[in-house]
A = this chain, B = another copy of it.
Amino acid sequence: MVAVDRSLTPRGEERRAQLLEVATARFAERGYRATSIADIVDSMGVGKGVFYWYFRSKEELFGYLLSAGMTDLRRCQLAAVSHSDDPLVRIPAAIRAAVRWAAEHQQLTALFEFAHRDATFGPLARRLQDLLIDDAVNELRAAMDAGAIRRGDPIGQARAILAVTDALATHGLHDAHRSIDEVTDDIVVFCLDGLGGRKGSPVPSLKPAV
């Protein structure tokens, strides 16, 4: 994804990380169109040459932020599910990791929301979201094979889980001002029950052992 594939010194890595951070903040604050490369480098107190050392264009930088963001979210989910082979532990863990990631990366989440509605970045946003769907489909297939949830169309179910997560997290965190844990409990219960995974039994260890 990075156009300019240079071997970076530690100082170069640091400056690149700073560029990504500043760009994410500016894009989230003012929007993609209203943010220029000049705005970004001005915030860093450097010239435009620094920008072009790392990226060919604003568009390329934005696409990189989305791709790297999705990689990070999927890595967090993978780490979260890796502690268990039980689908009824793994599925809630993956949901929990996604909500926590979104809460901890609100600026990046705002960039994804913009990208989904944008003509230029919509196709990339959908391709990246499909990776998330694929991960969920794999979990759901394994859960069906293990008899842990009802058999059904795993792609539809994966999309339903993402939709519930988005709807309940947006409402619960932004409108109803509830805690991440409360909101995530609601999402997990709705989704696990919706998948036919709980069958009236209590959800084991909804709260993570802190």
Whether the pair A186, B156 counts as a contact (CB closer than 8 A) is yes
A159 partner residues in chain B, CB cutoff 8 A: 167-168, 170-171
Known: A153-B171, A153-B172, A189-B196. 16 other contacts (CB 8 A): A150-B189, A152-B186, A153-B186, A155-B175, A156-B167, A156-B168, A156-B172, A159-B171, A162-B167, A163-B163, A189-B194, A190-B194, A190-B195, A193-B195, A194-B194, A199-B200
A189 to B117, CA, bound (A): 30
Q: Are B164 and A194 in contact (CB under 8 A)?
A: yes
Nearest B residue to A122 via CB reads B117
Task: Tell me the minimal C-beta distance from A183 to chain B in angstroms.
Answer: 8
**Residue A166 lies at the interface, judged by CB distance under 8 Å to chain B:** yes
Question: What is the count of identical protomers in the complex?
Answer: 2
Nearest Cβ on chain B to A119's Cβ, whole angstroms: 10
Cβ contacts A to B, 27 pairs, < 8 Å: A150-B189, A153-B171, A153-B176, A155-B171, A155-B175, A155-B176, A156-B167, A156-B168, A156-B171, A156-B186, A157-B190, A159-B167, A159-B170, A159-B171, A160-B163, A160-B164, A160-B167, A160-B190, A162-B167, A163-B166, A163-B167, A164-B194, A189-B194, A190-B194, A193-B193, A193-B195, A193-B196
What 5 A-B pairs are tightest by C-beta distance, nearest first? A194-B194, A163-B163, A163-B167, A190-B194, A159-B167
